[in-house]
Each structure stands twice: as structure tokens, then as C-alpha cells.
Amino acid sequence: MGTGAMMKYEQSESSWDSWDQFLTINLKMKTSDAFKDGEVDPELAGNMEEDELEKAQEECKFPWHAEEGVLGNIRKLNEEFNTFRGLNPVKIFVTGPPASGKTFYSDKVANYYNIPRIHVKQMVDEVFRLADLDEDKIDEEDEFGTKVREKIGELRTEEVEKQEAARGEPPEEMEDGWPDIDPKSVSIRVPDKFLYKLL
């Protein structure tokens, strides 16, 4: 065929007999090291001490970048994607006196650029929601949620102590003393760092 570099075969009824050597392959496969994560050769493992075996298993571990896959590392993937492409979020803070058009113009900008509009009250409510979560509902790895709970608890306790000190001794007709102040009912200022973190 062509330059004569390939052998020419005449087509016949039994053409498979002549082509089977070209269309089949003797393939020998072995498992990739990625699937032997931390496994040591059983023959070598039998002759090792326990500490040597642990060290060998550690050396055999596959260096995963994202072992849990895309779904388990979606936040890391998002950060890497944005960092690599220089995509930094743009945040616009609109402030002004009451009835100056903050909400009106913020809605206009949000609709034009198809971006979310977040009100400070929404973020404050979210901080208080996190602070009021039951302890068993906060994920142990959620460092932000734990910090919010602790800090808001401290601020509420301080405010309760201030209010109790300000009202002084109860009048004589109040035998049971002043009623207890509910820490969740006191008014406190949410630290700015929590609001920035939510953004």
C-alpha cells in the first residue's frame, strides 16, 4: 500500500485469519499506586517491626490533592480558580441618612449587574442565628460559628451585668428581688469583623 512500507493482503473470506495478529493485543495491567494508598507489600510487611511498618505505610500513601473529590473540595476549588484567574469579588457599600435612597439605588445596581443585595440587618440576624444555635448543631470544624457563639455570649453577659449594676438594689416591697434579665433580650452591637466575614 502506498510506498510499499506496509504489507498488502488480498481480501478473502478468511481475511480475519490474516488480520487477527494486528487487531489483538496481549495487555498486561497492574494496579496504579493511587489505588494502593498506604499498602505495603505483604512479603515485606511480614518482616517489619510495628514502627517500621507504620513508617513504610506513611511513605506509601498517595499524595492526594483533593482526596474527597470535587464535591468535598468545592470551596478550595473555587478559591484556586479565582486566585489563578485573578477574580476578586467587588463589594459596594452604600451608606447614608434615612430616606436618602440607599435601598432604591442599591436595588438598581443589583438588578443591573445581576448581583445580590445584602442589607446589614440580614447579616446581623445571621450572626444572632449562629450565636443562638444549640451547641450540638454547630459543626466542630466550623471555627467561625464557634467564635460567634463565644463572642456574642460574652457581649450579652457583659451587658446583663451592666444593666444589673445600673438598677441597683431592689425596693423593699420586691421580696424576690429584681427579675432575671434574659441575655438574649439585651441589645448588643455585633462586632464588625463578623459582618465582614459573612460578606
Q: Which domain holds residue 55?
A: 39-75
Q: Do 125 and 195 belong together in one domain?
A: yes
Let me know if residue 97 belongs to a domain.
Answer: no
| Other beta carbons within 10 Å of 182 | 9
Is 133 in contact with 149 (CB distance < 8 Å)?
Answer: yes
Dist CA 156 CA 182 (whole Å): 9
In a domain, 163, yes or no: yes
Regarding whether 199 and 123 lie in a shared domain, the answer is yes
| Residue 133 cell numbers, joined | 444555635
CA–CA distances in Å: residue 98 to residues 90, 101, 103, 107: 25, 8, 10, 16
Assign 33 a pLDDT band (cuts: 50, 70, 90): low
Residues 6+ apart with CB under 8 A from 124: 190, 195
- Whether residue 90 lies inside any domain: the answer is no
Give tens-digit pLDDT for 34-88.
666 667 777 777 777 878 877 877 777 777 777 788 888 888 888 888 888 888 7
Lowest mean pLDDT among 105-109, 133-137, 185-189, 192-196: 133-137
136 & 198 share domain: yes
Residue pair 184/132 in contact (Cβ under 8 Å)? The answer is: yes
Residue 19 lies in a domain: no
Average pLDDT score over residue span 160-188? 85
Q: How far apart are CA 103 and CA 120, in angstroms?
A: 11
Helix spans in 27-113 (H): 42-45, 50-60, 69-72, 74-85, 102-113
Is 137 a residue whose pLDDT tops 70? Answer: no
Residue 107 near residue 182, CB atoms below 8 Å: no
Q: Is the pLDDT of residue 1 over 50?
A: no
Res 159 pLDDT > 50: yes
Is pLDDT larger for residue 188 or for residue 36? 188
> Does residue 29 sit within a domain?
no
pTM tops 0.85: no
Q: Is residue 106 part of a domain?
A: no
| Domain finish residue from 75, 96, 129 | 75
pLDDT band at residue 171, thresholds of 50, 70 and 90? confident
Q: Give me the number of domains the chain comprises.
A: 2
The domain boundary residue, chosen from 75, 102, 137:
75
The separation between the first and the last C-alpha atoms of the chain, rounded to the nearest angstrom, is 69
Q: Is the pLDDT of residue 17 over 70?
A: no
Closest CA to 183 of 145, 128, 141: 128
**pLDDT for the residue 108:** 92
